[in-house]
Amino acid sequence: MTYESSASAFRHLLEARRSIRSFLPTRVPDSMIASVLQDAQCAPSNCNTQPWHVHVVSGSSRDRLSQALLAAEAAGRMSLDFSFSANDVHGIYGERLREQGAAYYQALGISREALAERRAASLRNLEFFGAPHAAFLFMPVFGDAVRVAGDIGMYGQTFLLSLAAHGLGGVPQTVLGMYADTIREELGVDPSLKLLFGISFGYPDATSAAAAYRIEKVPFEDSVVFHN
């Protein structure tokens, strides 16, 4: 394969990947999930520590976990291993955060004032947006955990790109990380492993309103400074 054709195939794959928030109920064959996990395992990490511990739920385990998450939410039992508040996201980053939320709700036809509908749309996170599978990315903590979290990000993006290469889709979800204790209890995960985020995945449902939504990225010149 020439450099041009592999770069063009890669660009195509990057454009094919986007966060999918509507799925067909069809289960992904175990062999295809194994193929995605094998790809994700190629991710780079600090000193090759490979700190990811991944739990994948499907079938009745997936359904039980979703019920437990909805019950935890209803009872106000949130438990974050790593803090997150939209109010902390300042300046241009906060603007992008708000634009993203507004564009998504607009695609779903939900107005700014329709608070109950917004809440229902947000709760879909805990139903894995209808995906038949979800992967949970746990990590050990060394030092301030920032470098380990970076490694988990590397793993997550490799996983997401592999999903796209297999004709699948997924969405990384910090919201799932807001119920870390519930997920650890349900899956029997050691308390020393912390949950950064989950990824719901499966076959995208191209017919849903959520599928019509695509968020733009700023030009790379806005993010990069060249020193020649």
User: Interface residues with ligand FMN (CB under 6 A)?
Assistant: 18-19, 21, 100, 125, 171-175, 197, 215
What is the smallest separation between the CB atom of 178 and ligand FMN, expressed in angstroms? 8
| Sequence-distant (≥ 6) Cβ neighbours of residue 84 within 8 angstroms | 174, 177, 178
Q: Is residue 81 a contact partner of residue 194, using CB atoms and an 8 Å limit?
A: yes
In 3-state terms, what secondary structure has residue 139? strand
Measured from the CB atom, is 84 or 142 closer to ligand FMN? 84
Beta pairing class for 133-139 and 53-58: antiparallel
Q: Is residue 122 a contact partner of residue 166, using CB atoms and an 8 Å limit?
A: no
Measured from the CB atom, is 32 or 149 closer to ligand FMN? 149
- CA distances (Å), 201 to each of 3, 57, 67, 163, 173, in order? 31, 10, 18, 8, 11
Beta pairing class for 53-58 and 169-173: unpaired
Measured from the CB atom, is 28 or 159 closer to ligand FMN? 159
What is the smallest separation between the CB atom of 84 and ligand FMN, expressed in angstroms? 9
What is the smallest separation between the CB atom of 128 and ligand FMN, expressed in angstroms? 11
Measured from the CB atom, is 1 or 218 closer to ligand FMN? 218
What is the smallest separation between the CB atom of 144 and ligand FMN, expressed in angstroms? 18
What is the smallest separation between the CB atom of 80 and ligand FMN, expressed in angstroms? 12
- Sign of CA pseudo-dihedral 202, 207, 208, 210: positive
Measured from the CB atom, is 45 or 100 closer to ligand FMN? 100
